[in-house]
Structure 1
């Protein structure tokens, strides 16, 4: 009996000592950072850092449940910038200029200015990895021919926060979804990192936001420095072999002026293997994709196998041309974002140690073989174009 009583007294006494979350901070005392940018300052040496901060009071709802701030309104966020010798010093200056504590736990996007990326992103990645508030799932993008600071100031028509718009683009399945963890992993391996380019374009159809953000082109690094951009057909070719592409539509022009056919991607599987031939590595790239017919703007009857085969061969030739364009540019830049060196190191470490001192030159001259397999499974209910 006394033992039970003593236990109850101990439990009650212990509960009185609990004071809740001792280190909690109310949301109205935080500056919630949703996106950050880093550039080279005008002096060419210092770091120009920018943070996009959400206005928590503007992101609530009215009594009827509708948003208090309309989409595309710049009032939903503000951008603060500062210069300093390092990224840490920059954040300290921004923090000292704000009445509220900076909170990086909700940062969703990191934008790297092109000039900064060409100088090297090693210091930035070091700060991100060491910062306990940084989330390694934060997406990394590179400003295409522009400063990151300007990207943080462009509003979105459909999202109250521009960072949300960029995240939705990253998760669409039609671009490279590169986060800080994956970027750092590639940087510390034998391969080279890459990321999507973020660019501004004029949105003539919108009166509220004349400019908008888009993800296009692919930033290619050699170690931690940006060396080139994959654009157009080369960018699309790299998406095919990067294992990031999940949603896509293609239009192929058929030979002999027989019109055009549009297809929608159903599924895609890609792989690449290094094969040793007479002591030298060669690369085999394999792709198997399944498509559905989206639109038939040709004179073909797609229910006839021989005419469907015309579409399949035209699509196969187009995809192989895109992939070959990407690989030719990567070999010319001596950049290995595909991870060919990682595969050689894993499966033939002896040969890798022998080739490592001159690997860039070997990679640039490596023969590449393509195996593109295309299947069109659904021609629809109509055989010919209306």
Structure 2
């Protein structure tokens, strides 16, 4: 009996130590932030911060399993903004204006306004890294010729939350997927950061949402300041050498007015390394790709090796032209997003210490060599009609 009493007493004493989730907060008491934006205020000095907050009550389902809020409805989220001298002060003001606790743990996207990015993003990234609620897997994008605040207000046709649409585009394999961890690592190294630009375009085919968001153009930085945009062929060229491209389709115009051929990217391997010749660094870029024929809109029979060779040469010329355009612009801007300086620091530390004071000028005139290898397969059984 005494043994049973001692057992019960120990169980009762142990239960006093089981406090449960003492700091838990019910979801209906939280303001769940899914996306944030940061801009320069009108005075050019203060920070204009915006948060996109999900309406949790609107994101559930009805009894039949259908969404209670239609896709793309602005009722699924709201946007709150405030101004302050620092990013932390802005968040504090927004938090004070809301009846619920602001929760940043589910933030998926950070949008940086172009003017703010040109002034410098060092303070913003310092806050992101130090914030215990901030996830370093949050994607970072820069608003193309626009304020971040406006980007947070554009709904999506296919997603209830615009942040979810941006994340899906980032994960598509056809654009750069740069999160806060990667951006901060670039910022604190001997290279320069880069990320995708986000742009508003007019969607004339949609009556419900006349405006939509797209990830287009590449923002390149020099240290923590935005210096330029890679657009068109230059942006595509940087994608080729960034090791981010996994999905792509190309159409090439063949010589002598023979027509066009469309191909789909099968695989791509890219590398770049620095070779020091007579004390001067030179950059070598290697690219090996495999394409599959998607459509033959030419008069050529692609079962003939000579015709396939023509397609391969056209693709090779196009890719090399795009990469060359990207490198020429980066060298002109003296921006080093490929990490050439990092490689010199790692493998040639003595040379780097000598070159570092004038590295930017030397980088702008550094020779670049290209080795582009293109293979095309799956010509199919159909010849030209």
* Paired residues, number: 385
Is the counterpart of residue 137 in structure 1 residue 137 in structure 2? yes
Q: CA deviation at 1:380?
A: 2.2
TM-score, normalising length: structure 2: 0.98
1:264 maps to 264
Give runs of aligned pairs for residues 95-134 of structure 1, distance below 5 A: 95-134=95-134
Give runs of aligned pairs for residues 315-334 of structure 1, distance below 5 A: 315-334=315-334
Q: Deviations for 1:32-80, whole angstroms, at most 9, x for unmatched residues?
A: 0000000000111100000000000000001100000001100000000
Distance change in 2, residues 1:4/1:361 (3 Å): farther
CA distance in structure 1 between the aligned counterparts of 2:2 and 2:291, rounded to whole angstroms: 76
CA distance in structure 1 between the aligned counterparts of 2:148 and 2:156, rounded to whole angstroms: 16
Q: Secondary structure at the match of 1:256?
A: coil
Query: Is the contact between residue 303 and residue 381 of structure 2 (CA under 8 Å) also seen in structure 1?
Result: no
Distance change in 2, residues 1:356/1:11 (3 Å): same
Q: CA deviation at 1:378?
A: 1.4
Q: Secondary structure at the match of 1:257?
A: coil
The unaligned stretches of length 5 or more in structure 2 are none
1:280 maps to 280
1:364 maps to 364
CA distance in structure 2 between the aligned counterparts of 1:76 and 1:256, rounded to whole angstroms: 55
The unaligned stretches of length 5 or more in structure 1 are none
Q: Secondary structure at the match of 1:166?
A: helix
Give runs of aligned pairs for residues 295-374 of structure 1, distance below 5 A: 295-374=295-374
Q: Deviations for 1:309-338, whole angstroms, at most 9, x for unmatched residues?
A: 000000000000000000000000000000
Q: Secondary structure at the match of 1:176?
A: coil
| More off after superposition, 97-106 vs 7-16 | 7-16
Is the counterpart of residue 171 in structure 1 residue 171 in structure 2? yes
Q: CA deviation at 1:15?
A: 2.2
Distance change in 2, residues 1:327/1:2 (3 Å): farther
Give runs of aligned pairs for residues 1-386 of structure 1, distance below 5 A: 6=6, 9-382=9-382, 384-386=383-385
CA distance in structure 2 between the aligned counterparts of 1:352 and 1:217, rounded to whole angstroms: 31
CA distance in structure 2 between the aligned counterparts of 1:354 and 1:258, rounded to whole angstroms: 54
TM-score, normalising length: structure 1: 0.98
Q: CA deviation at 1:124?
A: 0.2
